[in-house]
Structure 1
Amino acid sequence: MAKVIELSIPKSNSKIPVNTGLFINNEFVPSVDNLDPIKVYNPSTEEVICTVTAASEKDIDIAVAAARKAFRQTWGKNVSGVERSRLINKLADLIERDKQVLAELECLNNGKPVKIARDADISDSVGCLRYYAGWADKILGQSIEIDPKTKYAVTHPEPIGVCGQIIPWNYPIQMWAWKVAPALAVGCTIVMKPSEITPLTALKLSELVKEAGFPPGVINTIPSLGPVGGAALAAHKGVDKVAFTGSTITGRKVLQAAATSNLKKVSLELGGKSPHIIFESANIEQAANWAVLGILYNTGQDCTAGSRVYVQDSIYDKFVTILAAKAKELVIGDGFDEKTGGGPVVSKTQYDRVWSYIESGKKEGAKAIVGGERRTTPGYWVDPTIFTDIRPDMKIIFGPVLSVGRFHTEQEAIDLANDTTYGLAAGFHSTDQAQCHRVSSALEAGTVWVNQYCVLYNNVPFGGKKQSGIGRELGGHALDEYISTKAVHWNYGENIDWPL
């Protein structure tokens, strides 16, 4: 058996037990190669809070074999959609039951405030599981008429098989649910690789998988370093599909590894440099609210973050004044305080990267009207920062850092928005209905928000264009990523002579 540790929760006497082993075949086990464990940090203090077992390639082989056995014998086409639905709903119930514990663990490991984790991420994750539980017994084939007297054909949507799923550190629970729910609904089995930075909630969720009653091997969790676990899953010949959320650079590597092994199916949700346009007809107060949410939600660690705000000349000064005042209102600090709206960035690597962008912006002539100064206290803190006087070539992206620029005409705004190799999301504000139709059509992004920003729903597809990814998550479209359609041609009347 692997080691169980108890993590102390700040400002309370409570402790959360977490099993730090690999979760394979519904059991927590040590690594067969006994690699150096993964250090897990608290980003609010920079302290190591625990270590977890690191999977080797041999461990991943074992996990894939367990998933394959479950797919063939106890899951896949062996279990009805009704039963899959029941188990997914049971898992959702358990997550809802333990939402406070999961939120506290998320705060401890990720830095996300407990209130945000509990009331947004976990609530959405429960909803995601229940949404796909509703799909599980409604995945239907077709009957296709060929010749009404002698032949017909039918299609069978079948689970694709064993899925390697690689999730990021910015939404550890939510991305787990986004990946797991549609795969389970259609009957796939899973080998899950959480980020090595934030593995704790995936391990805790694994306990709930077993408690819910899923057969051994249906979901396996293998914390590991990216170059080991992610690379091994992407290239593994026993994996039929890989789903990845993360950077575009790593996404390319995943795609290449999949292509050179067994041409497995791949879906990628990658990075963005999303534009947020404020037209002169906008409700300025509301547009400023959405712009602040669009960049500061989740401490700016969001691939859809509206990091580039473009404001029409006629309202520029007024909008920037309101925007700056609203950004200063956000409480950044102790995530265990229910009043906190933002925490630290997740790691030293991200902290150094964000500050390199801030310093680069300053050197290139951008003006910081909010933030832009380092704290002297421990922790990976980056206070909300707003730059004006920006140029399109500046590198001020990711983290709680907003770049604000000007535009004159609608076409100029569209050109500025589309001037990127990414196409994950975009947003704009206007009360001109004709303009709303024109601009939403012209923006090159998989998701376009009109008079809002950063809101997603489990029944609406999400994914990118250009270098922001392949495939879709959420909605019915996500099911297609985990289905292989079989066509059956049935001859019940026509005979032929041989030879032809």
Structure 2
Amino acid sequence: MDTPASQHPVQDDAAAQTRTTQTRTTPSRATPSRQRIDALLAATPTDLFINGQWRQAAAGASFAVEDPATGETLTRVASADETDALSAMDAAAEAQDSWARTPSRVRAEILRRGFDLVQDHAEELALLMTLEMGKPLAQSRGEVSYGGEFLRWFSEEAVRDHGRYADTPEGNLRMLITRKPVGPCLLITPWNFPLAMATRKVAPALAAGCTMILKPAALTPLTSLYFTALMSEAGLPGGVLNVLPTDSPASISGPLMADPRLRKISFTGSTAVGKQLMKQATENVLRTSMELGGNGPLIVFEDADLDKAVAGAMAAKLRNMGEACTAANRVLVQESVAEEFIAKLAQRMSALQVGSGLEDGVDVGPLIDAKACTSVAELVDDAVRRGAEVVVGGQRGDGPGHFFAPTLLRNVSPEARVVREEIFGPVAPVLTFSTEDEAVAMANATEYGLASYVFTENISRGLRIGDRLDFGLLGLNVGVISNAAAPFGGVKQSGLGREGGAEGIAEYTSTQYVGIESPWSG
């Protein structure tokens, strides 16, 4: 690793919070030097991680990881194939029984040491994320804090995963209800939050007693590989966490999902890919958790605090360059305040600085690749052809890198693709409504149901609207609501299952009922 941290005893919450706060508030704001970047890349693993060992791909294949701000190759990473996948499955299956029988306190302390190591290496992780994904360093640092919290949260949940013991109503039996680890899992993570999506899956699986195979996105594997090295340093036994980067996902997901030893798949990504994986999962009746696409509405009522609503819209729309399933895809504003809201939002968006996420003062980094830029440009062009007006932005950047200007659209047709499809870019289409019923109908007019946002100073109205919205998440007068202690997930074609919170560990357990003869039955 770059600057290895020695293992250290689990610390109390106050000390750990002090460490986290120090990490957040004292990093250098200077643009990282080429020397520092090269040293970090040289220290970051680029091989597969199977049975506690770093190894090259069986076929010797590799793929390039690029910097989306420049298009330049950062490094090359080993590319796993079916042979590697089955080796990882062997390791996970072999380790499953001993890991399941490992006392929950031991599992908890490994997770807590992992949390501490993530805090120790926060700057390295943040820099890796910015290099391979593009987001500004400040946002990468925020993801380290958020992602690390899943390790701390599930270290605490590991020792509280209780069953129950009770008499049957008839009194003839006593019921022993236990929760057991579901078994080896396949965890497939996306490119947009390279650390948080890994910790959100790995931490509850470890806490529950499951072994796993992690497949990070080919666009951003470096953060996951660095994180894996930290978890190994934290004391994770060989075979418990196996990591397979690859630029041919089907070559490993297919064989793994056909293997009867695999018992669960957890996937975060597009709805189209999720549907295909769910079809494959039926063959072996695998447990599935799916966190899929989104088309989140952000609703602003006439009684909203408009400054608060604009701040919420900026956070919900432009965090991560809009490349988030929780992004506010559509901004719905009540007619009487639409002009004022648009003017305030335009002022904020036009002031944003676009550039490399490595540079101090940059608010919006590049999109992940050229394909993403083209997709966003096509959505904007379609909206304009249908009558939309570009208030701010609307164009791709010049020169190298995959930049797209923060864009505000008004007078957007409900039939525009930018309203119906997930944007995954810094584009905010504004539509207007007149009544509550109309707002709800517009918001629910999508096959997706992940995140939604409502701004109103009338809390009764906010809760009333929330009850009518078909979404798994609701931000009421806030634009960012994700938290390790809260259940995250959607309805309809946004997926099934929940990650985070007390619900998160249940996704990795199965329930067993043991009926015991009552001592009073004779």
CA deviations 1:169-189 (Å, max 9, x no partner) are: 000001001001111111111
Of 46, 60, 67, the residue aligned with 1:42 is 67
Of 152, 167, 170, the residue aligned with 2:189 is 167
Conserved 8 A contact 2:330-2:431: yes
Of 482, 486, 491, the residue aligned with 1:460 is 486
Distance 1:333 1:491, change over 3 A: same
Of 130, 140, 152, the residue aligned with 1:117 is 140
Q: How big is the shift at 1:493? A: 5.7
Q: How big is the shift at 1:24? A: 0.5
SS of 1:168 mapped into structure 2: coil
Matched AA of 2:427: V
- Unaligned stretches of 5+ residues in structure 2: 1-30
Cα distance in 1 between the residues matched to 2:476 and 2:446 = 20
SS of 1:85 mapped into structure 2: helix
CA deviations 1:299-318 (Å, max 9, x no partner) are: 00000110100111111111
Conserved 8 A contact 1:368-1:385: yes
Cα distance in 1 between the residues matched to 2:125 and 2:416 = 38
Of 330, 344, 357, the residue aligned with 1:335 is 357
Cα distance in 1 between the residues matched to 2:482 and 2:511 = 28
User: In structure 1, what is the equivalent of residue 202 of structure 2?
Assistant: 180
Of 418, 428, 447, the residue aligned with 1:402 is 428
The TM-score, its normalising length taken from structure 1, stands at 0.94
Q: How big is the shift at 1:191? A: 0.3
Matched AA of 2:259: H
Cα distance in 2 between the residues matched to 1:229 and 1:302 = 26
- Unaligned stretches of 5+ residues in structure 1: 1-8
Conserved 8 A contact 1:233-1:242: no
Q: How big is the shift at 1:150? A: 5.8
Conserved 8 A contact 2:302-2:334: yes
SS of 1:378 mapped into structure 2: coil
Cα distance in 2 between the residues matched to 1:208 and 1:153 = 41
Distance 1:185 1:311, change over 3 A: same
Matched, 1:70 2:92: no
Displacement over 4 Å in runs of 4+ = 147-150, 492-496
Of 113, 122, 144, the residue aligned with 2:166 is 144
Matched AA of 1:253: Q
Matched, 1:284 2:306: yes
Alignment of 1:213-228 (within 5 A): 213-224=235-246, 225-228=248-251
User: In structure 1, what is the equivalent of residue 336 of structure 2?
Assistant: 314
SS of 2:106 mapped into structure 1: helix
User: In structure 2, what is the equivalent of residue 449 of structure 1?
Assistant: 475
Conserved 8 A contact 1:89-1:130: yes
Of 45, 52, 58, the residue aligned with 2:83 is 58
Of 55, 67, 80, the residue aligned with 2:103 is 80
Of 473, 476, 485, the residue aligned with 2:502 is 476
Cα distance in 1 between the residues matched to 2:32 and 2:359 = 10
Matched AA of 2:163: G
**How many residue pairs get matched?**
483
User: In structure 1, what is the equivalent of residue 23 of structure 2?
Assistant: none
CA deviations 1:366-389 (Å, max 9, x no partner) are: 111110122211000011011111
Alignment of 1:73-472 (within 5 A): 73=98, 75-76=99-100, 78-118=101-141, 120-146=142-168, 151-224=173-246, 225-260=248-283, 262-396=284-418, 397-472=423-498
Cα distance in 1 between the residues matched to 2:479 and 2:332 = 14
**RMSD of aligned residue pairs (Cα, Å):** 1.7
SS of 1:467 mapped into structure 2: helix
Q: Is 144-153 or 352-361 further displaced after alignment?
A: 144-153
Cα distance in 2 between the residues matched to 1:168 and 1:308 = 22
CA deviations 1:167-212 (Å, max 9, x no partner) are: 0000000100100111111111110000011001111111112111
User: In structure 2, what is the equivalent of residue 6 of structure 1?
Assistant: none
Q: How big is the shift at 1:403? A: 0.4
